Amino acid sequence: MKTTYRECVRQALREALLRDPRVFLMGEDVGRYGGCYACSKGLHDELGPERVRDTPLSESAFVGAGIGAALGGMRPIVEIMTCNFSLLALDQILNNAATLRHMSGGQFEVPVVIRMATGAGRQLAAQHSHSLEGWYAHIPGLRVVAPGTLADARGMLPTALADPDPVLIFENALLYNLEGELPEGAGAVDIDHACVRRPGSDVSLVTYGGSLPKTLAAAEVLAAEGISAEVLDLRVLRPLDGAAILATVDKTKRLVVVDEGWRSVSLAAEVVARVAEEGFFSLDAPPVRVCSEEVPIPYPKHLEDAALPQVPKIVRAVRQVLHG
Amino acid sequence: MSELTRERGLRLLREMLRIRRFEERCAELYQAEKIRGFLHLYIGEEAIAAGVMPELLPDDAVVATYREHGHALARGVAMNAVMAEMYGKWEGASRGRGGSMHIFDAATRFYGGNAIVGGGLPLAVGLALADALQKQSRVTACFFGDGAVAEGEFHESLNLAALWKLPVLFLCENNLYAMGTALERAQSQVDLVAKAASYALPAARVDGMDVVDVGDATRSAVAAIRRGEGPRFLELVTYRFRAHSMFDAELYRTKSEVATWRARDPIALLRARLDLGEAAMAALDAEVVSEVDASVAFAEAGSWEPVERLTTDVYARRPP
Ligand SMILES: Cc1ncc(C[n+]2csc(CCOP(=O)(O)OP(=O)(O)O)c2C)c(N)n1
Ligand SMILES: [Mg+2]
């Protein structure tokens, strides 16, 4: 079936709402407006304002309310328009959602799902272009996932809702228009494992989310040069699937990590550190990271492009690990 | 209502028209893909920026939102610099780094251009705190939308400013919607003046379509603040004639509602009050349009910042 990433998200939301009366969706303009990325279009009219609930611009209050409602027996899906605004709710996510199980000695749980758009690339300038999934992946108590394919956009939500712990879903805004085939009857997928999206033997490209299409495109360019790149999609940013990372590096002996987060103290740094600690002797060359430059994202296209991971940069990085 | 001299009236009319024509051109340039990213037009709301700014002194500070082209122009940021910023050119007000949502200008103490709803309010309180601590009799004018009133920043900032008697003028541009959400669907208390007043600062509602009223209300609020009486709050009731941004099907409001408000176009209202004839209006318009034309030419002729400079202006000292 031909569809889009956006439609996969929408179908997943609809199915979740229809299946479980404890599930409700809330966020800014998710109801009548249909979501600022149109991910909930039509759901308000179909299911009503109780189940598809518009909130005021009060990120801290409605994210906290989602956490509280989860604590109270519901299965809320909270949409934060973009991760840029999640900073206003960071206290609730970090100090409540992530800690309640532990602080209460395991008495309470917070089965909330928080979805948000992430990423740059649309000339929205510094305050609207953050990639904060790596920050959230730093936090014990959260599960952080980044659907990079249609099947994951469709299938991660039901699994996240079934999880007894808080799950954050990061949807790269550039993926919403992604088109492709979704198998008939596609449904829940696991949120534990990374996945090899393209097998290869010369180098491992480890990535996730919005960088996945770029990385696959780079692998295509490399194939034309006779270089066989394996592309590993992390899918789950916390807890990381360390075994899958080590397995691909063990196979190819070379590692390039592609991550739209800033380079220093990043998710990419964590991947490289894991390989350094546990897979050091399988490496034939120093790993290379392709990340965002250490600058708030600038507005002009030429500067924004230069600040972000791009196919030519990934290709150059691969040549570097292969040829020094 | 104060007496309106013809000179003041014409000045206000020109300012509103500058903003209108500038933004109409921006909308065209957006279609032509010269301007990218988000573009939030102020069309319909011009009377607020045009009315407030003449009541401020050059040394006062201004904090605005992502819908701030009008504020920048009325504050005196050169139109050329604003247009070049819209293009992302190096000659722009923020050297092209910010674009439409992030116009900054130190010379006029224009502190942006904030794209996080409510993000400017604490900043304004801090600017005013600095003035208070340095015994400066300056005022900080802080613009924000009705949507921001739901954010914690609004409440925390009003409380702090009132508690510390800081020289802030809070200017809530109530255009009845925050994106697709009507005020009454976001606020338990839709009377924003009552809400602000609960923090024990004087608050008043003003017709934001009447530029003279806006000016008069600002004048007395600024005078009180300068006398050391602490912060003031004005709710300016207005309406945006265009979509929230360039990606908005406007399904949340009716055509007839838009038409009703368009009938109160602040430019037409003032023009009628001044009884300005066709010829005089056309002459004024021609002057304004030629300024806009010149700004487009300036932006077109501008340069792209060399990509080698990508990581400049992140720190004062470049990291090693
Ligand atoms: C903290 C935060 N949440 C959400 C957004 C997305 N957003 C941008 S503008 C806007 C509406 C704001 O409405 P209002 O404050 O009334 O200002 P207006 O656009 O009407 O001028 C929203 C929700 C944002 N920029 N920042
Ligand atoms: Mg508004």
At A29, which CATH number? 3.40.50.970
- Both A282 and A305 in one domain: the answer is yes
Interface test with A, best of B116, B121, B250 (most A CBs within 10 A): B116
pLDDT one-digit tens code per residue, A231-285: 999 999 999 999 999 999 999 999 999 999 999 999 999 999 999 999 999 999 9
Please give the Cα distance from B237 to B206 (Å, whole number). Answer: 6
Contact A116, A82 (CB under 8 A): yes
Q: What is the DSSP string of A29-65?
A: T-STT--TTSTTTTHHHHH-TTTEEE--S-HHHHHHH
CB–CB of A296 and B314 under 8 A?
yes
Contacts by A40-44, CB closer than 8 A, 24 or more apart? A40/A10, A40/A13, A40/A79, A41/A10, A42/A10, A43/A10, A43/A13, A43/A14, A43/A17
Q: What CATH number does residue A258 fall under?
A: 3.40.50.920
Contact B298, B85 (CB under 8 A): no
Please give the Cα distance from A38 to A44 (Å, whole number). Answer: 12
For the packed helices A242-252 and A267-278, what is the interaxial angle rounded to 10 degrees? 70
Nearest CA in chain B to A87: B116
Q: What is the pLDDT of residue B319?
A: 66
Q: What is the pLDDT of residue B312?
A: 95
- Residues written for chain B: 320
- Both A53 and A100 in one domain: the answer is yes
Structural domains in chain B (count): 1
Chain B nearest C-alpha distance from A203 (Å): 29
- Both A142 and A209 in one domain: the answer is no
Q: What CATH number does residue B91 fall under?
A: 3.40.50.970
- Both A237 and A316 in one domain: the answer is yes
C-alpha A265 – ligand 2 centre gap (Å): 38
Nearest CA in chain A to B155: A58
Residues from chain B that touch A306, judged by Cβ atoms under 8 A, are: 307, 310
Q: Is the CB of A57 under 6 A from ligand 1?
A: yes
User: Residues of A numbered 256-285 whose beta carbons fall under 8 angstroms of chain B's beta carbons: which are they?
Assistant: none
Q: What is the pLDDT of residue B246?
A: 86
- Both A23 and A126 in one domain: the answer is yes
- Both A47 and A75 in one domain: the answer is yes
Residue located via tokens 């990079």: A148
B240-261: b or e for each residue (b if 16 or more CB lie within 10 Å)?
bbbebbbeeeeebeeeeebeeb
Please give the Cα distance from B159 to B136 (Å, whole number). Answer: 21
Select from A131, A148, A181 the last residue of a domain: A181
CB–CB of A125 and B185 under 8 A?
no
Please give the Cα distance from A94 to A102 (Å, whole number). Answer: 12
**Is B10 part of any domain?**
yes
Q: What is the pLDDT of residue B71?
A: 98
**Is B29 part of any domain?**
yes
Q: What is the pLDDT of residue B143?
A: 99
Please give the Cα distance from A245 to A237 (Å, whole number). Answer: 12
What percent of chain A clears pLDDT 90, i.e. is strictly above it? 98
Please give the Cα distance from A281 to A21 (Å, whole number). Answer: 52
**Active-site entry in A7, A28, A44, A59:** A59
**Is B79 part of any domain?**
yes
CB–CB of B148 and A28 under 8 A?
no
CB–CB of A33 and B181 under 8 A?
yes
Select from A181, A216, A231 the last residue of a domain: A181
Q: What is the pLDDT of residue B249?
A: 87
Q: If pLDDT is split at 50, 70 and 90, which confidence band does B205 have?
A: very high
pLDDT one-digit tens code per residue, B270-296: 999 999 999 999 999 999 999 999 999
- Both A148 and A210 in one domain: the answer is no
Q: Is the CB of B148 under 6 A from ligand 1?
A: yes
Say if A90 is an interface residue toward chain B (CB within 8 Å). no
Q: What is the pLDDT of residue B166?
A: 98
E strand or H helix at A93, and its extent? Answer: none
Residue B72 sits in which domain range?
6-309
Token duo for residue A164: 């007894």
Atom 8 of ligand 1, residue of closest alpha carbon: B117
- Decide if pLDDT at B67 tops 60: yes
pLDDT one-digit tens code per residue, B51-66: 999 999 999 999 999 9
**Is B316 part of any domain?**
no
**Is B286 part of any domain?**
yes
Structural domains in chain A (count): 2
Low-confidence stretches of chain A (pLDDT < 50) are none
**Is B94 part of any domain?**
yes
**Is A186 part of any domain?**
no
Please give the Cα distance from B164 to B271 (Å, whole number). Answer: 42
Residues from chain A that touch B152, judged by Cβ atoms under 8 A, are: 58, 60-61, 88
C-alpha B132 – ligand 1 centre gap (Å): 30
Number of CB atoms found within 10 A of residue A290's CB: 27
* Residues ≥6 apart with Cβ < 8 Å to A312: none
Nearest CA in chain B to A123: B37
Please give the Cα distance from A159 to B319 (Å, whole number). Answer: 44
- Both A72 and A164 in one domain: the answer is yes
Report CA Rg, chain B: 19
C-alpha A222 – ligand 2 centre gap (Å): 49
From the number of C-beta atoms within 10 Å of its C-beta (0-12, 13-18, 19+), residue A99 rates as middle
- Decide if pLDDT at B1 tops 60: no
- Both A160 and A286 in one domain: the answer is no
Bridge partner list, A3: A180
The arithmetic mean of pLDDT across residues B94-123, rounded, is 98
**Is B58 part of any domain?**
yes
Residues from chain B that touch A294, judged by Cβ atoms under 8 A, are: 311, 314, 319
Residue A318 sits in which domain range?
195-323
CB-nearest partner of B307 from A56, A125, A306: A306
**Is B314 part of any domain?**
no
CB-nearest partner of A295 from B115, B178, B310: B310
What percent of chain B clears pLDDT 70, i.e. is strictly above it? 99
Say if A82 is an interface residue toward chain B (CB within 8 Å). no
- Decide if pLDDT at B2 tops 70: no
Average pLDDT, chain B: 97
Select from A181, A203, A221 the last residue of a domain: A181
* Structure letter (DSSP) for residue A153: H
Q: What is the pLDDT of residue A324?
A: 79
Residue located via tokens 């003041």: B8
Q: Which atom of ligand 1 is nearest to B67's Cα?
A: 21
Q: What is the pTM of this model?
A: 0.97
- Both A274 and A160 in one domain: the answer is no
What are the helix (H) ranges across B205-317? 211-226, 255-262, 266-274, 278-301
Q: If pLDDT is split at 50, 70 and 90, which confidence band does B247 have?
A: confident
- Both A252 and A317 in one domain: the answer is yes
Q: Determine phi and psi for A107, rounding to 5 degrees.
A: -75, -35
C-alpha B172 – ligand 2 centre gap (Å): 9
- Decide if pLDDT at B112 tops 70: yes
- Both A148 and A252 in one domain: the answer is no
Please give the Cα distance from A271 to A241 (Å, whole number). Answer: 10
